[in-house]
A and B are shown apart, each in its own frame.
Chain A
Amino acid sequence: AQTVTQSQPEMSVQEAETVTLSCTYDTSESDYYLFWYKQPPSRQMILVIRQEAYKQQNATENRFSVNFQKAAKSFSLKISDSQLGDAAMYFCAPAYAGGTSYGKLTFGQGTILTVHP
């Protein structure tokens, strides 16, 4: 079974500044993916970024990047040049890469991000 810990229930950042959201997980699998999803007040779950565990290179997606430390089972999200539209709940989620558990995401409890103008 996978467990996911997001140790920061709430974070805040000034517009245009950088913020990092933390996530640690526990898994016995060697082949898996890691995701960050955001949930704005509209409650729609939106994919932010994904990382394949077999890749050493950290994923980036425009202003969003991750710091993936496989040995430490850590997967943090960095948001650069924060914008008001980034305000949302952010969820970290690992998922098995194959077999009968393909696609099963285990979500952390989430971090509420507030962006101040």
Chain B
Amino acid sequence: DAGVIQSPRHEVTEMGQEVTLRCKPISGHDYLFWYRQTMMRGLELLIYFNNNVPIDDSGMPEDRFSAKMPNASFSTLKIQPSEPRDSAVYFCASSLPQGLGANVLTFGAGSRLTVL
């Protein structure tokens, strides 16, 4: 398997623009997580899905952020409009079903977002 695939690896945009980050989880993994990493706040869980259904979005910072998982092999994290404080590395991770994966998350390589 190719692992968790994220795109783009790097994104530079201007304040106010829409940003869409993409993630393809490992086949057979039915949990998908979006994390954000910044120097100030470390690694934070934004939202996670189970079987394409959002389970907990309490970490989503505000209404400018939205995430979807239309099918088992694709998820997006959208920021609209983007702000400089959204600059961070965004990680997607996936995990096997309960009882099989022992909570082990496999991470993608991350998407580094810079908002000017």
Contacts and interface: CB of A to CB of B under 8 A. Distances in A.
A43 B107 CA distance: 10
A50 B104 CA distance: 8
B109 A44 contact: yes
Contacts of B91: 45
Contact of A52 (B89, B93, B102): B102
Given A44-B109, A50-B104, A97-B103, A103 B95 contact: yes
A110 B40 CA distance: 12
A100 B56 CA distance: 8
Interface in A102-117: 102-110
Interface stretch (B16-24, B42-50, B63-71, B78-86): B42-50
Nearest to B31: A103
Contacts of B42: 107-110
Given A107-B42, A109-B42, A102 B98 contact: yes
Contacts of A91: 43
A33 B107 contact: no
Contact of B45 (A33, A43, A45, A104): A104
B21 to A, nearest CB: 15
A98 B97 CA distance: 10
A95 interface: yes
A105 B109 contact: no
A6 B95 CA distance: 25
Interface in A14-51: 33, 35, 37, 42-47, 50
A104 B48 contact: yes
Given A102-B98, A103-B48, A105-B45, A95 B109 contact: no
Given A45-B91, A50-B104, A104-B45, 4 more contacts: A47-B105, A50-B102, A103-B33, A103-B105
